[in-house]
Amino acid sequence: MWGTALRMQLKSQISSPYASSALRLGPIYIVIIITFIGSCLAEDSRLCFLKDNLVFGTMEMVGQGGEELEFCFERLVMGGDGRGGMDGGGVGVITEWKDVPMELLLRIVALVDDRTVIMASGVCSGWRDAICLGLTHLSLSWCKNNMNNLVLSLAPKFTKLQALTLRQDKPQLEDKAVEIIANYCHDLQDLDLSKSFKLSDSSLYALAHGCPNLTKLNISGCTAFSDAALAHLTSFCRRLKILNLCGCGKAASNRALQAIGRNCSQLQSLNLGWCEDVSDAGVMSLAYGCPDLRALDLCGCVHITDESVIALANRCLHLRSLGLYFCQNITDKAMYSLAQSRVKNKHEMWESMKSRYSEEGLMNLNISQCTALTPPAVQAVCDSFPALHTCPGRHSLIISGCLSLTSVHCACGVQAHRTASQLSHPAH
């Protein structure tokens, strides 16, 4: 689907003699303009490809039939001198790519994919300047072979980026590319570097100093990062709200988690999946330093015990999702602490908040392979949090691998069981 990965921001300071009229014109006009421009000017294969992509993306959004588009196009040509004049004088003559109004260009490129936008930025200096000013979200995950060089080329131009996705199937990015991003993209808030196996600590140090406004960072699978570099990053990027460290075994140590607890008080989501060096000391630092934590994934953190869960239950009152997969040191004590935290929070709620009470608390809990747990303790958690479900199609309490917990049911699951029993054994 064209344009799903791209959002464009129209800058109020951009002015044009066509501004007032172009922004009021419907999508069909955009199709006509770009088709006509392409027909007049796109003589080489690159520009033809660009034109086709722009037209296809716009037509997909408009949903107009081919005959209507052709009719409008003929009117456009006949209404002028064959070079782009409009019947009625609404828009001036467009004879070159650079004549397209900036606002109209930004509306057009907002409908196509990121690859086409990059091509459009190379058509002429006017298009480049307009796109570089308006582009705030970009994904290069489609680039399978030459992402590193592409980043080196684009980062100095797209300095207004706020979100950049560089997810890779195979490692391409090198430290130099991340350093270029840090040097030019100071407004960056959302960065995805997942599976960047080639990156070293130099990248994190560069981001710490060049991108202090980061609120979302995904470095999952970046196995070369150290805990010292991650701790340094958190001391500068104090606005982090979402952090994915899944598989970062070296970086996600107790030392790093203690730094996160000190520096990132706004953190809401943290993925520590398969960070096997994490223990209670690190998780407790998070619980005390990040009270607004909403989602925490500790799957495969085999060293944590009940103490971690108790700290989270007592300190992170907004916790909605907790992953404890394969945390086999977790016992009933942890489950009862979660259930009791619900009761404690209920007494502290204002009267005006009671209507929202059913929406609060845990909504997802994964205790798969936590084989020490017993049905009464898990049932207590399920009873305390109405959003936890064991019924088909709504599984949010995940207990796979725990054969002893098959008797645990959510409220709607119990009701369904009663209904089925009544149907199979009707009263006489």
The CA-atom distances, in angstroms, between 227 and each of 232, 277, 289 are 8, 11, 18
What pLDDT is stored for residue 123 in this prediction?
84
Token representation of residue 154: 């684009």
Is residue 299 located within the same domain as residue 162? yes
Q: How far apart are CA 203 and CA 61, in angstroms?
A: 39
Residue 2 lies in a domain: no
Q: Are residues 49 and 96 in the same domain?
A: yes
Mark whether 99 and 168 lie in a shared domain. Answer: no
Q: What is the pLDDT of residue 7?
A: 36
pLDDT average, residue stretch 233-251: 98
Name the β-bridge partners of 269.
Answer: 242, 295
pLDDT at 135: 92
* Residue whose entry in the numeric block shows the structure tokens 């001391």: 235
Q: Do 97 and 172 fall within a single domain?
A: no
Does residue 327 form part of some domain?
yes
* Average pLDDT in the chain: 81
Element at 126 (helix H, strand E): helix 125-134
Domain with 341 in it? 139-349+360-418
Contact 202, 175 (CB under 8 A): yes
Does the pLDDT at position 355 exceed 90? no
Mark whether 268 and 400 lie in a shared domain: yes
- Structure token digits, residue 371: 């084989």
> Would you say residue 251 lies in a domain?
yes
Statement to judge: residues 265 and 403 lie in one domain = yes
Residue 195 lies in a domain: yes
Tell which of 117, 149, 173 closes a domain: 117
Task: With respect to residue 129, please indicate whether it lies within any of the assigned structural domains.
Answer: no
The CATH number of the domain holding residue 225 is 3.80.10.10
**Tally of domains in the chain:** 2
Distance CA(74)–CA(158), nearest Å, equals 37
- 104 and 151 in a single domain? The answer is no
Both structure tokens of 59: 């037509």
Using the CB atoms, write b or e for 166-182: b if 16+ within 10 Å. bbbeeebbbbebbbbbb
CB count within 10 Å of CB 422 equals 10
Measured CA to CA, the distance from residue 418 to residue 302 in angstroms comes to 38
Asked if 384 and 342 count as a contact pair (C-beta separation under 8 A), the reply is yes
DSSP string, 51-116: HHHHHHHHHHHH---HHHHHHHHHHHHHHTTSSS--TTSSS----SGGGS-HHHHHHHHTTS-HHH
105 and 220, same domain (yes or no): no
* Predicted pLDDT at 28: 41
Q: Are residues 252 and 344 in the same domain?
A: yes
| CA 408 vs CA 106, 306, 341, 387, 424: distances in Å | 55, 21, 20, 14, 22
84 and 151 within one domain: no
Question: Considering the entire predicted model, what is its pTM?
Answer: 0.80
Contact partners, residue 66, CB within 8 Å, separation at least 6 = none
- Residues 281-295: pLDDT tens digits? 999 999 999 999 999
Average pLDDT over residues 401-419: 79
Assign 393 a pLDDT band (cuts: 50, 70, 90): confident
Determine the average pLDDT of the residues in 115-133. 89
pLDDT digits (tens, 9 = 90+) for 11-36: 332 333 333 333 333 444 444 445 44
Average pLDDT over residues 366-392: 96
Do both 199 and 51 map to the same domain? no
